[in-house]
Amino acid sequence: MSSLNFKNASIVVVGGAGFVGSNLVKMLLKDDPSKVVVIDNLLSSDVANVPADARVKFCFASITSDQGLGAIPADVEYVFHLSCYHGNQSSIADPFADHENNTFTSLRLFDRLKDAKSLKKVVYAAAACAVAEKTYDQPTATTEEQPVSLVHDSPYSISKLIGELYGNYYHQRYQMPFVKARFSNVFGPGEILGAGRWRGTVHTVWRNVCPTFIWKGLHREALPLDNGGNASRDFIFVEDMARGLMACAMDGEPGGIYNLATGNETSILDLATWINEFAGNPTAPDLKPARDWDRSGKRFASTEKSRRELGFDAQVEVREGLRRTVEWTRANRELIARTMAAHSKQMQQAGAPLRPEYFPQGV
C-alpha cells in the first residue's frame, strides 16, 4: 500500500459523519484529495464528527433522496458506502426504518452510480457478523467464501447481505466497479454514545461493547459480562479499518470481497479487564451466567486474502487501541454526555435511566 493514492481525487463517503466514515474522511484528507463529499442524514451520528476542512462538503440528506443523490459530483471517482441503520437491535425494533436506511439506501446509490463514467471504485461496508458461524466451541477463521445462511437474527443482518447482492448485480450487469469490505468489530475514537436520533431501544445510547464499557469504566461501574465474558470477537482499531477501506478502493478487484480484520480473537473478559485498567476502574466486572438464547459465541476472521491481494495488515494492537480510545473518551466527555442526554426521557421510559453522575454540569 503506497501513500498519496487519493491525491486530487473526487470522493464521496455516504455515512461519512458516522464512526467509521468520519475516521475514513480524516485519513483520506491526508492524501490531499480535491474533494470529499459527505452525504449523511445524521440518523446515528453527530455533525461534530465532520471535519471543518475546505475540501469537505457536507450534504445533510438521506442517500435515498434526490437531494442526497444530487450531491454526488459529476466527476466522482471513489465512493465509500458506509451508511446503515445502526444497529441490530434498532432494526429489530423497526424493520421498516432499517429497510429505508440500510437496504433501500444501497439500491438507490448503486442505481445512481451504474452509468457514472468517471467512477473507479465503489467500496461497500459489508458485515462479517452476517456470515460468521455462531459457536461457543473452538472457532475457525471465517473466510470470504463462508457459506451464507438464509436464516438471520435481525433485519440489519439481512440488509447488510442485500447490499452485497445488489452490488454484485450492478457489477455484473453494468460493470459498476464494486468491492465488498467485510468488517469485523470496529472500535476506536469517534464512536459517540447516543449520537443521532432515538432508534427505539436503549442501544441508541449503549451502541457497542467498547464505547459502552469505556464510559461505564470511567464512571467506576461494574462491567456486565454475560457468560463470564467468554464470547470473543475480532476487534479492529478504526484507523486500521480506514486504511483497509482505502486499500480496497485502490487495489480491490472489482466484484471482489475482502475481510478487514486482525485475524485475532479477543475475549470480552480480556476487553473488560484492559478497559478497566486504562480507565482506572477499581470495580470488578459483574460475571453473569450464560443465557439460554445467547447466540453471540466466538469468532474471528481470516486475513489471508486481504494480506495477499491488498497488502493489508492491521497495525494497532487491541490493547493499544483501547488505551487511545479511553483517552479520546476522557477528552470528549462533554460531547458524549450531550448526545446521551438527548435521549434521557426515552431511556427513562425504556427502564434504563441514565445516571445523574454522567452529567456533572447538568443537561
Ligand X SMILES: NC(=O)c1ccc[n+]([C@@H]2O[C@H](COP(=O)([O-])OP(=O)(O)OC[C@H]3O[C@@H](n4cnc5c(N)ncnc54)[C@H](O)[C@@H]3O)[C@@H](O)[C@H]2O)c1
Positions touching ligand X (CB under 6 A) are 14-15, 17-21, 39-45, 62-64, 68, 82-84, 86, 101, 105, 125, 127, 160, 183, 185-186, 196
Considering the complex, what minimum distance in angstroms separates the CB of residue 164 from ligand X? 11
Eight-class DSSP state of 134: -
Considering the complex, what minimum distance in angstroms separates the CB of residue 80 from ligand X? 9
Residue 201 and residue 350 in contact, taking contact as beta carbons nearer than 8 Å: yes
- Which residue's CB is nearer to ligand X, number 162 or number 326? 162
Cα–Cα distance, 201 to 351 (Å, whole number): 10
- Which residue's CB is nearer to ligand X, number 33 or number 196? 196
Considering the complex, what minimum distance in angstroms separates the CB of residue 128 from ligand X? 7
- Which residue's CB is nearer to ligand X, number 22 or number 276? 22
Contacts 24+ apart (CB under 8 A), 66-70: 68/14, 68/39, 68/41, 69/108, 69/109, 69/112
- Which residue's CB is nearer to ligand X, number 10 or number 339? 339
- Which residue's CB is nearer to ligand X, number 18 or number 155? 18
Considering the complex, what minimum distance in angstroms separates the CB of residue 242 from ligand X? 11
Q: Which amino acid, residue 153?
A: D
Considering the complex, what minimum distance in angstroms separates the CB of residue 220 from ligand X? 26
Partners of 59 in the β-ladder:
39
H-type helices in the chain, by residue range? 19-29, 66-70, 88-93, 95-98, 104-113, 155-174, 209-218, 238-251, 268-279, 304-310, 318-331, 333-341, 344-349
- Which residue's CB is nearer to ligand X, number 6 or number 235? 235
Considering the complex, what minimum distance in angstroms separates the CB of residue 99 from ligand X? 11
**H-run or E-run covering 152:** none
Cα–Cα distance, 14 to 360 (Å, whole number): 35
